[in-house]
Amino acid sequence: MNAQTETTKPQAGETEERRINMIEAINDALDIMLERDPDTIVMGEDVGYFGGVFRATAGLQEKHGKTRVFDTPISECGIIGVAVGMGAYGLRPIPEIQFADYIYPGLDQLISEAARLRYRSATDYISPMTVRSPFGGGIFGGQTHSQSPEAIFTHVAGLKTVIPATPYDAKGLLIASIEDNDPVIFFEPKRIYNGPFSGFYDKPVEPWKKHKDSVVPEGYYKIPLGKARHVTEGEQLTVLAYGTMVHVAEAVCADKGIEADILDLRTLMPLDIEAIETSVKRTGRCLIVHEATRTSGFGAELSALVTERCFYHLEAPVERVTGFDTPYPHSLEWAYFPGPVRIGEAIDKILKD
Partner 1 sequence: MAEQASNRPALALHVPEPRSRPGDPVNFSDVDIGEPGKMPRPDEGCDPGEMKDLAYGLVRVLGDDNKAHGAWDPKLSPDTLREMLGHMAMVRAFDERMFRGQRQGKTSFYMKCTGEEATSVSAGMALASDDMVFPSYRQQGILIARGYPLIEMINQIYSNKGDKLKGRQLPIMYSSREHSFFSISGNLATQTPQAVGWAMASAIKGDSRIAATWVGEGSTAEGDFHSACTFATVYNAPVILNVINNQWAISSFSGFAGSERTTFAARALGYGLAGLRVDGNDALACYAAQQWAANRARANQGPTLIEYFTYRAEGHSTSDDPSGYRSAQEREEWPLGDPVMRLKNHLIAIGEWDEERQEAMDLKCAEEVKAATKEAEKNGILGHGLHHPFHTMFEDVFEELPWHLEEQAAQATRERQIKWPDKHPKDGAGK
Positions touching partner 1 (CB under 8 A) are: 2, 4, 41, 67-68, 72-73, 75, 77-78, 81-86, 88-91, 93, 105, 108-109, 112-113, 117-126, 157-158, 160, 180-182, 226, 269-271, 273
Using the minimum distance from each CB to partner 1, give the nearer residue, 4 or 295: 4
Q: What angle, 0 to 180 degrees and rounded to 10, lies between the N-to-C axes of helices 244-256 and 340-351?
A: 60
Residue 112 has what DSSP assignment? I
One-letter amino acid at 169 equals D
Active site (annotated) includes residue 64? no
Catalytic pick from 145, 211, 247, 290? 145
Give the integer Cα–Cα distance in Å for 314 and 307: 8
Q: Tell me the DSSP string of 232-254.
A: E--SSEEEEE-THHHHHHHHHHH
Contact 143, 330 (CB under 8 A): yes
Contact 154, 298 (CB under 8 A): yes
Using the minimum distance from each CB to partner 1, give the nearer residue, 153 or 208: 153
Give the integer Cα–Cα distance in Å for 115 and 109: 8
Using the minimum distance from each CB to partner 1, give the nearer residue, 125 or 220: 125
Report the nearest approach of partner 1 to the CB of residue 305 (Å): 9
Q: Is 40 helix (H, G, I), strand (E, B) or coil?
A: strand
Phi-psi region of 196 (alpha: psi -120 to 50; beta: other; left: phi over 0): beta
Using the minimum distance from each CB to partner 1, give the nearer residue, 305 or 316: 305
Using the minimum distance from each CB to partner 1, give the nearer residue, 73 or 257: 73
Report the nearest approach of partner 1 to the CB of residue 118 (Å): 5
Report the nearest approach of partner 1 to the CB of residue 344 (Å): 33
**C-alpha Rg value of the chain to the nearest Å:** 19
Residue 303 has what DSSP assignment? H
Give the integer Cα–Cα distance in Å for 327 and 143: 6
Q: % helix / strand / coil in the chain, to the nearest 5? A: 40, 20, 45
Report the nearest approach of partner 1 to the CB of residue 67 (Å): 5
Return the closest-CA partner of residue 115 out of 83, 163, 68.
Answer: 83
Report the nearest approach of partner 1 to the CB of residue 13 (Å): 34
Report the nearest approach of partner 1 to the CB of residue 114 (Å): 10
Return the closest-CA partner of residue 93 out of 207, 228, 183, 19.
Answer: 183
Report the nearest approach of partner 1 to the CB of residue 5 (Å): 9
Q: Can you give the length of the chain in residues?
A: 353
In the beta sheet, which residues pair with residue 289?
321
Using the minimum distance from each CB to partner 1, give the nearer residue, 126 or 351: 126
Give the integer Cα–Cα distance in Å for 280 and 224: 22
Using the minimum distance from each CB to partner 1, give the nearer residue, 43 or 350: 43
Largest Cα–Cα separation, the chain: 61
Chain mean position to CA 280 = 22
Which residues are marked as active site?
Answer: 145
